[in-house]
A and B are shown apart, each in its own frame.
Chain A
Amino acid sequence: GIQVEQSPPDLILQEGANSTLRCNFSDSVNNLQWFHQNPWGQLINLFYIPSGTKQNGRLSATTVATERYSLLYISSSQTTDSGVYFCAVEDSGAGSYQLTFGKGTKLSVIP
């Protein structure tokens, strides 16, 4: 099956700093999503981004499908950004919406 690797595994930021999270995947994908899991366990969909660039407030994401990677940018980080960020992909050969998740990047934003 498709492999999804995220880096870095852990990241500690001072409030106000910027960061870039990376997701590499091993095969072509129909679907790529970024999720934020808050400290209470709730998964929030951030972006659906199989290709191209999207922005939502302080967050933006870019996927270069031909090179099989995606980047999530967090600017002016806040303590509420803390949690785990997951990249998930749908293999183009798999069934609809069957997502394979990376291991996540655990982000801690300190005041």
Chain B
Amino acid sequence: SAVISQKPSRDICQRGTSLTIQCQVDSQVTMMFWYRQQPGQSLTLIATANQGSEATYESGFVIDKFPISRPNLTFSTLTVSNMSPEDSSIYLCSVGSLATDTQYFGPGTRLTVL
């Protein structure tokens, strides 16, 4: 299984600011994803981070609000821009394993926006 780390693990931010979350994987992976989990809710896919091309966003999520970078096969960043209290959530990155057909998740970044 892949070992995934995220930074920061948690943060408290002021509205109107932006936060960049980093996701590092211990091996090269083709598929990397970003999910959001709002308080007490399930996980919702934000986007697929594609290496060498723009991310593919799900309905309801836009690049201006959640810009994503994927400079190589082991690293990605998600930026939450112009934050409001409604952005308070856990943000998780995940990777898919072709070998096992399973998906592995990072520990998450717990964001609180005041």
Chain A residues proximal to chain B, CB less than 8 Å: 31, 33, 35, 41-43, 45, 48, 86, 88, 95-104
Contacts and interface: CB of A to CB of B under 8 A. Distances in A.
B103 A97 contact: yes
Contact of A104 (B42, B44, B48, B56): B42
Contacts of B53: none
A48 B101 contact: yes
B103 A99 contact: yes
Contact of B96 (A42, A86, A96, A104): A96
B41 A96 contact: no
B48 A95 contact: yes
A35 B94 CA distance: 13
Contacts of B100: 48
A5 to B, nearest CB: 11
Interface in B4-61: 31, 33, 41-45, 48, 56, 58
